[in-house]
Amino acid sequence: MDIKNSEILTALKTLGLASGAVPEEIHAAFRKLARELHPDITGSKSDFRFKQITGAYNILKNLTPEELNVNIPASKTKKNLYDYYNAEKKRKNDEAKVNSILEKYENEIKEHFSTHKNYFDIDINSVILRLKSDKLKVIHAVLKYSGQFANRVEFRRALTEILKRSDIDTDTANIIETLPFDDVTRKLIALDTAENAKNFPTGLIINLIGNDSDVMESFLMNVKPDDVAVILRRWPTGKIMNQNVIRNLLASDDARILVPLLGAMKTHFPTYSKIHKKRLTALENHSSAAVRAWAKKLLS
């Protein structure tokens, strides 16, 4: 085995990978370990290990899949497997230690800010690193004390990624609602995350839409049926709704959508009844008495 292959195998082992790992696996392994071992999170104890994984990644990141598929001599296969399982056992132990350190770290943060009311005394890069954590405790601790960064572009992008995840828990939403966003930042966050609005708690929806009709329209296309009424009750007087949005909502047969929509049409844009006369006529036969009543009012 030549030196190059030896270096590749060592680098793969450092990242917890075996020969034949593809570039995507290498990138994912490095990102995971970097989040766990970054000195900003674990302190100086992880400096050496962090340098190891960084060096390994620098060796591997530009290699082709063919170069990464290093042949292991049969005589050494058993030893390599033994080393691999030992490395995996050590990795799990290290991960448990990191989790313990993170929990201690969060407790120290809470204790610090229970007696010191000043903002986070860390830089924006450290904040962003922690916002990328898979640990809700870490994210919550940072969000609570990062108001000074709320309108920074880097912070907005990191927060947007959090809001694009599948489900937003109530605790996370409550903390986000307290952040001092300016109108531009709030609108950009809302528009960038509207597609996931069906997973937002109602309070977060109210906080993000503000009085902006553009944001409201984006959210109306994506929120749960029960939240349609929440948005339409806040529709700004004098603002006209996009026809495509109205057409999309009118196509629903859900009374939770139709009742508040028809009410809003009667209040804010009654002239639209002529444009949508065919659909309103059909709604006069809807199974919901409230829908039938509103449809008749708009057609009268």
pLDDT in tens, 269-285: 889 999 999 999 999 99
In three-state secondary structure terms, 100 is: helix
Contact 56, 10 (CB under 8 A): yes
Kindly report, residue by residue over 114-162, the tens digit of the pLDDT: 554 444 456 788 888 888 887 788 888 888 878 889 999 999 999 999 9
The candidate with the shortest Cα–Cα distance to 227, out of 251, 207, 241, 244, is 207
User: What DSSP line would sit under 219-260, residue for residue?
Assistant: HHTTS-HHHHHHHHTTPPTTPPPPHHHHHHHHT---HHHHHH
Q: How far is residue 280's CA from residue 270's CA, in Å, rounded to a whole number?
A: 12
Q: How far is residue 294's CA from residue 272's CA, in Å, rounded to a whole number?
A: 14
Is 80 exceeded by the pLDDT of residue 110?
no
Residue 225 pLDDT class (50, 70, 90 cuts): very high
User: What DSSP line would sit under 82-94, residue for residue?
Assistant: HHHHHHHHHHHHH
Instruction: Give the model's pLDDT for residue 43.
Output: 62
pTM here is 0.59
Instruction: Give the model's pLDDT for residue 45.
Output: 65
Residue 76 pLDDT class (50, 70, 90 cuts): very low
By mean pLDDT, which of 92-106, 171-185, 201-215, 281-295 is the weakest? 92-106
Mean pLDDT of the chain: 82
